[in-house]
Every structure is written in structure tokens, then in C-alpha cells.
Amino acid sequence: MKRAVLAIALVVPFAAASADLNCSLKAKKTTPKAEYTAMAKVKDEAARKTALDKVAVAGSTITKGGLEVEDGCVVYSYDVKVPGKSGVQEVLVDAGTGKVLKVEHESAAKEAAEKAGTKAKDVAVKTKDKVKEEAKEVKEKVTK
């Protein structure tokens, strides 16, 4: 019993912290990109400027990023390389309001793990879209 309570006490704060972005636009990880792109009210250029302004270190550059769903929120996520620092600063900008939701330092190892997760999500979305299309085709054949 003590172990179960300890395990819950350790996990709950991390789960709550990751899901508490307080964003204006919500979506699931499996939402097709076209759908959450249509939801975005803020343009990429404005979100990039906001991310660089938030880091506020001369010579900082965005190495990668764009619109995505993270922790149930539609956000622009940018990796900002800061001169003289290892890793990157990940900046999340709300795609509905343009406000910065989160700034977090990512080591090279964490970046690699995140990249693997993104690939898995992309495969899941493509598979979901393909299954929907095939189901639609089968339904059309059956109803004819």
C-alpha cells in the first residue's frame, strides 16, 4: 500500500505539470495537421518573432519548429539555439493567442527522444487517415 501511494505521489505532479499549458486551442495528438492548421489564428512569422524575443539573447536562431499539438494544445514549438549554450531552448507559443506558454531547456539527449516520439505520432496519424479512407471506400462499395 505504501508503495502504491508513493508511486502515485511521484507521478501525479509530473502528469499535472505536463498537461497544464493553459492554452486557447485544444486538439488530440492524432488530429490531422490540416485540421489544427486551420484552427491557428497566429501566423508562423509572428510566433517565430515571439519565440526569439522571449529568449532575448543576441545571435539566437531557430533551428527547427512549427505548428504542432503538444500536451493537448495547438502550439508553435521552436527549438532556439543560444550562442555559447549546449542544447536548445524549446519555446511554445499559443497558436490562438500568440502568448508564450512555456520555455524549457532541452539537452541533446532529450531532443533525440522527442524526435523519436514525433516520428511515431506521424506514423499513427498517417495510418489513421489511411484507415478512414479505406473504410469510406468500403462503405461506398457496400451501399452501391
DSSP assignment of 80-102, as one string? EEPTT-SSEEEEEEETTT--EEE
From CA 83, how far away is CA 97, in angstroms rounded?
Answer: 29
Q: Which domains does the chain have, with CATH numbers?
A: 23-143 (3.10.450.40)
Q: Which residue has the higher pLDDT, 2 or 58?
A: 58
11-43 pLDDT, tens digit each: 444 344 445 789 999 999 999 999 999 999 999
